[in-house]
Amino acid sequence: MNNIFVHHVYFWLKHSGNIADYSQLVAGLKKLSKATTIKQFHIGRPANTNRDVIDSSYAVSWMLIFENEADQAIYQTDPIHLKFIEECSHLWSKVVVYDAVDA
């Protein structure tokens, strides 16, 4: 893959540890995975690792791989993405995004 675009999003829940909120967010991300420009995705939770460099304070991670930056830009305004934000943004207190391109 040349010029891939990796979009990694970390979510902190407003009600940390709330199973219903966690499940709703994961369900929302599964619906969001249907956006057509997404090549691959991964929905995760913190691994059971413990080192000084690891931040496991988030609740859910969402990693997307796009063919290129243009496809990621299309995703940002995709109706499926906008619907996800509308339906799930009340669940999180913080979101951090890391975008990366080929080195």
Question: Residue 52: its pLDDT value, please?
Answer: 96
Which pairing describes strands 38-44 and 60-66: parallel, antiparallel, or unpaired? antiparallel
Question: Residue 59: its pLDDT value, please?
Answer: 98
Which pTM value belongs to this model? Answer: 0.94
Q: How many CB atoms lie within 10 A of CB 78?
A: 16
Question: Residue 70: its pLDDT value, please?
Answer: 96
The number of residues in the chain equals 103
Four-way CATH pick for 5-101: 3.40.1800.10, 3.30.300.30, 3.30.70.100, 3.40.50.150 = 3.30.70.100
**Cβ proximity of 6 and 63 under 8 Å:** yes
Tell me: the pLDDT tens digits for 4-56? Answer: 999 999 999 999 999 999 999 999 999 999 999 999 999 999 999 999 999 99
Domain ranges of the chain: 5-101
Question: Residue 89: its pLDDT value, please?
Answer: 98
